[in-house]
């Protein structure tokens, strides 16, 4: 089911650092691109969608593209298990748990929870159900502990414990899979896109930005390949200055510093603040857009990433429609469906208000 294959980078990326020699084939690629009739777009503006929510591997979204390279590196370096880190509803942690199980490896997940919840069983909502079904080990920490130690130190601490107590040699994947190696997943996605949209007149690409690896890969790939799109990254946490700095670091890890590639992050993409009330906290207007888009187009976004990103994009379009006239925009749907279950209570009035559940009268 899972194959390790030799990897040849796209020609424009061959001179970068950390060129992977191999990748695991885990994702269903290429993912489709199709028009997307979101209501209320400015006149003369066309929107299409890149369906990275359909990469497969139990709804793994954008994370599986990174995991193909990360897990190949882990195997190459002789590891036998994985550790990763994230929020309690981390899509990345769930994708990692599934991918690890495909390989026959154990996944250990350090998950950040509220202080009053971290000592009790985290339950089975959304991503947790999938993680626990595939037998991942969950290690909860409080938000305060996460803030005090930081993700890398917590990963290292657990790794030390697993080496000592279980004789494992775990590979630590950073938050969101966003290491320089993980970025290859989205450099390769740009190569896929080059073949898919060549000559079709696309002008812009937009996506959610959380841990930054997806944006870094898309932005660098777009720059090096000459695809020439304007890149809009809608940040769902932190702020634009943070994303430029963090992505500069990722790109430096690939040897893609400004003196080599002729641009830094800020020249390669536009970071837009879209976090609203905060990471993983949904405002009603964001969820209303998610519900409207589902009801009109059949595409289901997620509340934490893609819902906020599309809300950011559509808000910009509605505020300044003239600037978007004549543009052909590709929105990358990065997945996250399971995160919706965590917001069921907040979504209920929007969904039930539509009044579509009836009692079928018989006789
Ligand atoms: C992780 C995630 C993102 C953000 O991707 P990064 O590479 O972390 O910036 C976007 N959408 C979904 C659904 C995700 O799970």
Domains along the chain? Answer: 4-61+179-352 (3.40.50.1100), 63-176 (3.40.50.1100)
Please state the rounded mean pLDDT for residues 57-79: 96
User: d(Cα 4, Cα 127) in Å, to the nearest integer?
Assistant: 26
pLDDT of 363 over the 90 cut: no
Cα separation values, 258 from 230, 248, 261, 265, Å: 18, 9, 5, 9
Query: Is pLDDT at 352 greater than 90 in this prediction?
Result: no
At 264-316, the pLDDT tens digits run 999 999 999 999 999 999 999 999 999 999 999 999 999 999 999 999 999 99
Gap between the Cα atoms of 298 and 39, Å rounded: 12
Confidence check: pLDDT of 1 > 80 = no
How far apart are alpha carbons 156 and 22 in whole angstroms?
A: 25
170 CA → ligand 1 middle, Å: 23
pLDDT of residue 355: 66
CA of 89 to the centre of ligand 1 (A): 12
Separation CA 154–CA 150 (nearest Å)? 6
pLDDT tens-digit map of 169-193? 999 999 999 999 999 999 999 999 9
Q: What is the pLDDT of residues 302-312, one digit of tens each?
A: 999 999 999 99
Do residues 83 and 110 touch, judged by C-beta distance below 8 A?
yes
pTM for the model: 0.97
Question: Could you tell me the distance, in angstroms and rounded to a whole number, from the CA of residue 71 to the centre of ligand 1?
Answer: 18
pLDDT at position 356: 79
Band the pLDDT of 2: cuts 50, 70, 90: confident
In the sheet that holds 204-209, the strands lie side by side as 33-35, 46-51, 328-333, 204-209, 230-235, 270-273
Q: Which of 51, 54, 57, 61 to mutate to test the pocket of ligand 1 (most atoms within 8 A of CB)?
A: 61
Q: Which two tokens stand for residue 230?
A: 């304007």
3-state secondary structure (DSSP) of residue 323: helix
282 has catalytic annotation: no
Q: What is the pLDDT of residues 97-155, one digit of tens each?
A: 999 999 999 999 999 999 999 999 999 999 999 999 999 999 999 999 999 999 999 99
Residue to substitute in 98, 187, 205, 214 for testing ligand 1 pocket (most ligand atoms within 8 angstroms of CB): 214
The active-site residue out of 90, 225, 265, 282 is 90
- Mean pLDDT in the chain? 96
């Amino acid at each position: 089911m899972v194959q390790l294959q030799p990897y040849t980078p796209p020609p424009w990326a061959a001179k970068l650092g950390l060129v992977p020699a191999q990748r695991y084939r885990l994702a269903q690629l290429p993912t489709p691109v199709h028009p997307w009739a979101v209501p209320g777009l400015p006149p003369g503006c066309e929107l299409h969608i890149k369906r990275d929510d359909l990469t497969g591997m139990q709804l793994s979204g954008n994370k599986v593209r990174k995991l193909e390279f990360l897990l190949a590196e882990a195997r190459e370096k002789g590891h036998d298990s994985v550790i990763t880190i994230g929020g309690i509803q981390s899509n990345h942690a769930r994708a990692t748990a599934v991918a690890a199980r495909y390989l026959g490896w154990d996944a250990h997940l350090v998950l950040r929870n509220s202080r009053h919840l971290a000592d009790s069983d985290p339950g089975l909502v959304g991503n947790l159900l999938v993680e626990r079904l595939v037998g991942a080990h969950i290690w909860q920490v409080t938000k305060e502990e996460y803030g005090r130690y930081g993700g890398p130190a917590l990963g290292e601490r657990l790794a030390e414990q697993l080496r000592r107590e279980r004789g494992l040699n775990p590979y630590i994947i950073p938050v969101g899979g966003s290491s320089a190696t993980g970025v290859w997943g989205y450099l390769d996605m740009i190569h896929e896109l080059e073949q898919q949209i060549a000559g079709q007149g696309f002008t812009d690409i937009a996506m959610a930005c959380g841990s930054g690896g997806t944006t870094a890969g898309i932005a660098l790939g777009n720059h090096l390949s000459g695809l020439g799109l304007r890149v809009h990254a809608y940040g769902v946490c932190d702020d634009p200055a943070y994303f430029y700095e963090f992505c500069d670091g990722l790109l430096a890890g690939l040897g893609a510093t400004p003196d080599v590639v002729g641009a830094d992050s800020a020249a390669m993409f536009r970071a837009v603040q879209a976090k609203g009330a905060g990471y993983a906290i949904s405002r009603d207007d964001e969820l209303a857009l998610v519900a409207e888009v589902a009801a009109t187009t059949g595409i289901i976004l997620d509340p934490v990433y893609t819902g906020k990103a599309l809300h950011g994009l559509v808000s910009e379009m509605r505020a300044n429609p003239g600037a978007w006239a004549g543009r052909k925009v590709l929105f990358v749907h990065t997945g996250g469906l399971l995160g919706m279950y965590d917001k069921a209570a907040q979504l209920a009035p929007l969904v039930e208000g539509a009044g579509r559940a009836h009692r079928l009268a018989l006789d």
